[in-house]
Amino acid sequence: MAKITRTIRVRGSKTMTGFVFFLTAVFFFVIGWMKEAKALMWVAVAICTLLTLLSLVRRRTVVTLDDKGIRYKSPFWNLHFLWRDVRACGVYYVRNREVYPHQPGQGDLALHDKWPLTIFVSTRMHYFPQRQNRFINRNCIHFRWNREAWSVIARNVNGECKACITP
């Protein structure tokens, strides 16, 4: 069995958004209770159910980097890329729905605007995420920036991919 070098739980940074939706659900429930409007109460229950499902999916998403490769496991995908199969990798950030490359040596946050960084790893040659093509599929894995994870990826990718590390 390979020695695990890094395991990352992909949580995202949507806690404030979730909190706002939860408060909205509580507001709908209280108003529905006071006005005896069952429709508002059902909307509140639906919002809470959706928030619970999203939280469960986020908690069950794990990226594992070991000596053999990178593994992405979620309720929807179970992907494993060997290091020798990785053809493109890099770091990017999204601003105004546009994708911009980022130099990993510049720090944990892109520029001074504090845009969150994302790491991508792909088995396709010369791949870089596009505006409409930033989803996880059988050829690409995207996950939140983590300095330790990036150092493991940079250390283990083959020579052909080294050019993709700094776009």
Do 100 and 22 share a structural domain?
A: no
In this predicted model, what pLDDT tens digit does every residue of 66-111 receive, in sequence order? 888 999 888 888 999 999 999 998 888 888 888 888 877 655 555 5
Domain count across the chain: 2
pTM: 0.70
Closest to 142 measured CA to CA, from 150, 134, 130, 131: 134
Average pLDDT over residues 120-133: 85
Residue 97 lies in a domain: yes
Do 123 and 158 share a structural domain?
A: yes
Domain boundaries, position 95: 65-165
Do 54 and 101 share a structural domain?
A: no
Do 154 and 131 share a structural domain?
A: yes
160: left (phi over 0), alpha (psi -120 to 50) or beta: alpha
Do 55 and 76 share a structural domain?
A: no
Percent of the chain scoring above 90 in pLDDT = 9
The contacts of residue 81 (CB under 8 Å, 6+ apart) are: 69, 70, 71, 121, 123, 141
